[in-house]
Structure 1
Amino acid sequence: MQEHADETATRARADLLTALLLVALGLVLFYLSWTMPRLEARRIHPSTIPGLVPIALSAALTLCGGLLAWRSWRLPAKGGWSALGKAVTGKAARRVGAVLALALLHTLVLVGWLPFWAAAMLFIFSFIVVFELWLIDGQPVTPLSSLVWAAIIAIVGGGGIYFVFERIFLVRLP
């Protein structure tokens, strides 16, 4: 029973932080949408202005974030902040952070700097190595076999991605 209460307290504080981020994002998007050009000089009807849909969506995001913040603030959450801190610094959070870092590295750095097939191979290889050697969740693997299999899978995967998209679907990759 105590474990359920601790989990509820942790989720309430996580919801509160998420809600505050959603409200902030909604307000920024609302402002940016409001300041978009209205095109009055071209006699554009006010119901067709470019920022109308983003204004509505950002207002909805702000409203939903506010409701979530109100709900999570009202929930009893004794010890919720410390439990949230432990959850954010735990192994699962490190694994999520590693996935995010690898995906951002691949998308923002490797693609465009290397041919797509090489970037894909490097991403696949590094993903396997990181999760089999450093962030493993279970039985440890010997480093040599992990490196060999990661290289084989990366070559087959990266080459397969290139072959399927460039040669079969005729899609030009970056």
Structure 2
Amino acid sequence: MNLPVGEVISRGLNLREMDLRRLLEGFYDKGFSGYIVATIDGYDGVEEGVLIFKDGGMVAALYDYDQHGLTVMGDGAMPHVFNSFAAEYVVADIVSLTNQQVDLVTAFNDKSKLLKVVGKSDVGRMIPRIYSAELAKSTLKELVKKDESKSELFKKLGLTGLGE
């Protein structure tokens, strides 16, 4: 995930030790422009979720399943990002950006833009109590099938060890 560096506000925050609702609602109150990126050891390896804000409004979301090279964007990424906030081991960075930098991020990642408005009052109900591996499992299910099919094809052709 390539995001502008901007001004690092906080690095290595343990979200399990914070009032996440208050933190996110504060972005709305302060007119924050920038992003929060959460990194977890998820269902199948390292996962990263990003919420991007502009002038105190949530404007974009991205979620990476690093091991699979899969990125979920926009409204579809929201459940994944919020799910990651509830992981047992989650660290986050908060980075401030200019509005122009936010515009560039959303211009180059057009699918990351949120179509549904997520207001300050919505944040609390979006934060789950516990991390759900089922969300990742169902998202990756189709991708894993493709990987298994490719592996099986290589075995049938006597080309073991390729594509692994």
Q: TM bucket by the smaller chain?
A: under 0.3
- From the CA coordinates, give the structure whose radius of gyration is larger: 1
More helix per residue = 1
TM-score (norm 2): 0.24
More strand per residue = 2
Q: Which has the higher contact order (CA 8 A, sep 6+)?
A: 2
